[in-house]
Amino acid sequence: MENFTLAVSLFTQVIASDPHVALHYTGRGIAYAQSKKYACAIGDFQTASSKADYIPSPTVSLWTAKCRFYLGSHASALLAVRDVLSLDPDHTDALALKRRLVELQKHIEDYHTARKRQHWKLARAAYESCLGIYSHEDCELPVDIRCWNVELRMAEADWESVASSVERLMHKEPKSTDVMLLRARVLLLTAKLTDALTQTMAVLKLDPDDANAKEIRTRLKGIIRSQSEGGVHFRHGRWIDAIREWDEALRLVGDKDEEGKGGIIRATLLRSKAEAELNLGNYSDCIKYANLALELDATYAEAFLTRARVNVVLELYDVAVEDFRAALQLGKLTMPALVLSSVEEELNAAEQKAIGERRDINLEILRVEGYRKFCNKIYNATKFAMLKLDEQFVPEPTAKPTGNESIVERWILHKLNVAARDVNQQLEQRNFMAATNTTYNFWLYELCDVYIEAMKVMTDESASPTMRRSAQQTLYTSLDLGLRLLHPFMPFVTEELWQRLPRRPNDSTQSIMLSAYPVFNSSSVFEDAYRDFELVFSAIKTGRSLAASYNLQSDLQLFVRVQSENEVALFESQVPTILALTKHGKSVKVVRTPEDIPAGCGSAVLTPTVVLHVLVRGQVDLDAEIVKCQKKLDFARLNLDKILKTESQPDYENVVAANVRLFNEEKRRTLEADIANLELSIQMFEKLK
């Protein structure tokens, strides 16, 4: 084997004695290239080209092209190949290298196109094709292409591989800011927030103006702050406030496909929300968030534990036993000994209750009961539809919205459209559990729990004929497409129920198996209606939570305080819906000023301009409520001071990104509204003493 190191040393001695000969530099450059020191080789080739006696040669130009190729400069490598071919059009090695470079460029473009469209299988195929080309050349991948491996594993949510891959990459390229920022993202998504912030600050020390590092730092600080504040609220029993903070953290984390739907940090926050919902008695929401957490992290012991506890409350003991066992198995290495001991006691208690329930029959009858109840839910929804769709009802020729839909109708059509999009993507990815959960959540939590309840008041005798017909059409579309969406998972029940629905004109489809499967439809995108009804639904859920926290069992009186005419119109139009969806609701009144709120109300801030109040006068301990409000007030003032301090920094407008400034402004306005509302509540309770 040739000793290229010795060759480099000898050429260096020759150059020292005569630095003006181009051939000496090209010789050392080739020796550098053959010892895989490509940057040094490029330097020598450039120096040689500047010498007076330099004569371009195919050999030097080819080595220049190869070095640029190996360093990841594909475009400049192609230029060097053209230099070779200009000197020797039939140069075999140059022609072969040109083909590989053109092929590589195509694979790189394919990767970026597939990644942009979130076609991860195609992106991986393009990456592996690039890998094959570099393997054929027997050289290392450039840093940017090595980063693709981490990005792909991140999109696939393979967090163990992601962590090990990025650490290996960091070990090889410790000074690459791209690798450092990629590692910071991985640490963020794997819930190692402090380490992620440390890594981001290391990048900013190298380049204080790095926009990507600044964005990650702002995102991290927001997540850390909201997660911490949510934890403080939770420890003090302020469940609603904790959920609000964790929702903000979830917003910052996001659920992008390229980040594994939010990763382990999103699973952690969802599990925290599930715990808060469990304490509020919102068991369906608790299970929903625990399931979402487990979809993101199937080894999350604490999420199994939360789901086990809510199943105990729901008396689903066999299911709870499974979850307790999973929590113990997965938590052996992560949970403290005292916690494990407590979980074992909970497991033993659940097993005893399960044995008592099934009386020695080795059958998870409660799980079967749960399936039966869901089937009944679907059956009752279809039965309800048949009662509402009278003999004169004729479906529209297509499922396209007519334009007469109310806000809640547009909301359910939008949710159905989103569910169809998500289920198709999940089936394409062979993620059958996620597809099943998406369909289940649409039927249970959106169609049955919201729209069917809301549309009852839209089809009674007081409703106008136009409203009634529109509500019927929307109900029909939701059931028709909803049953088709569910059909792959429950074929027999959905076939039976679908046969009972009337057909659209000119539709002779004989079986649901032959009907078109729902897909995303741009005509059913209603972002404005979705956003407006989500605000209304937030008020409904907050009203339920306030009622639960104050233990109000009947005659719930709600007051929605708003500021703009649009908000007045929105909430006044939805009063019947709010009453229909609020348990034990007696009245809902939309007001504009604090003076319109009766004394003795508990409250919660929904947005900077919308506050929900519930009358609790005569049903609470006034002194305890004043103390509770004062604690919340102190905490809100502390958070407001932090925001104001951030906004008062020098060059805040120029240094901080626009989206971050908007977020801080929204946070500040919400805190200011919260403070004003808490001060008002304290004054009201003081007057009642």
Question: Which domains are assigned to the chain?
Answer: 4-151 (1.25.40.10), 185-358 (1.25.40.10), 365-525 (1.10.730.10), 546-688 (no CATH)
Residues 6+ apart with CB under 8 A from 71: 38, 39, 42, 142
State the Cα–Cα distance between residues 68 and 83, nearest whole angstrom. Answer: 13
Sheet holding 556-561, edge to edge: 585-591, 556-561, 610-615, 601-607
For residues 494-512, give the mean pLDDT: 90
Tell me the pLDDT band of 141, cut-offs 50, 70 and 90.
confident
286-314 b/e with 16+ CB inside 10 Å = b?
bbbbbbbbbbbbebbbbbbbbbbbbbbeb
Q: Is 48 helix (H, G, I), strand (E, B) or coil?
A: helix
Write phi, then psi, for 359 (nearest 5 degrees).
55, 55
For residues 375-391, give the mean pLDDT: 84
DSSP helix, strand, coil percent of the chain (3-state; round to 5): 75, 5, 25
| Residue located via tokens 């086990």 | 308
pLDDT tens for 124-133 read 898 888 888 8
Residues comprising the chain, all counted = 689
DSSP 245-283: HHHHHHHHH---GGGGGGHHHHHHHHHHHHHHHHHHT-H
pLDDT tens for 603-627 read 888 888 898 988 887 777 777 778 8
| Residue located via tokens 């000969």 | 21
Residues 6+ apart with CB under 8 A from 283: 277, 310, 313, 314
Write phi, then psi, for 433 (nearest 5 degrees).
-65, -45
Token pair for 106: 């195509």
Asked if 413 contacts 474 with a C-beta cutoff of 8 angstroms, the reply is yes
CA distances, 564 to each of 136, 569, 592 (Å) = 66, 9, 8
For residues 111-126, give the mean pLDDT: 89
Is the pLDDT score of 75 beyond 90? no
Amino acid at 327: A
Nearest CA to 458 among 500, 412, 396?
412
Alpha carbon 265 to its chain's center: 10
State the Cα–Cα distance between residues 436 and 108, nearest whole angstrom. Answer: 35
What does DSSP assign to residue 442?
I
Token pair for 364: 């998870």
Tell me the pLDDT band of 363, cut-offs 50, 70 and 90.
low
Residues 6+ apart with CB under 8 A from 332: 340
**DSSP run (H or E) holding 344:** helix 337-358
* For the chain, percent of residues with pLDDT exceeding 90: 30
Is the pLDDT score of 362 beyond 60? no
pLDDT tens for 395-417 read 898 888 888 899 999 999 999 99
User: Average pLDDT of the chain?
Assistant: 86
How confident is the model at residue 661, as a pLDDT?
A: 78
DSSP 284-336: HHHHHHHHHHHHH-TT-HHHHHHHHHHHHHTT-HHHHHHHHHHHHHHTTTTS-
DSSP 152-176: HHHHTT-HHHHHHHHHHHHHH-TT-
Residues 6+ apart with CB under 8 A from 635: 229, 232, 233, 241
Is the pLDDT score of 335 beyond 90? no
Asked if 568 contacts 302 with a C-beta cutoff of 8 angstroms, the reply is no
Is the pLDDT score of 484 beyond 60? yes
Say what the pTM is: 0.52
Tell me the pLDDT band of 1, cut-offs 50, 70 and 90.
very low
Alpha carbon 462 to its chain's center: 42
96-131 b/e with 16+ CB inside 10 Å = b?
ebbebbeebeebbebbeebbeeeebeebbebbebbb
390/37: higher pLDDT: 37
State the Cα–Cα distance between residues 177 and 465, nearest whole angstrom. Answer: 64
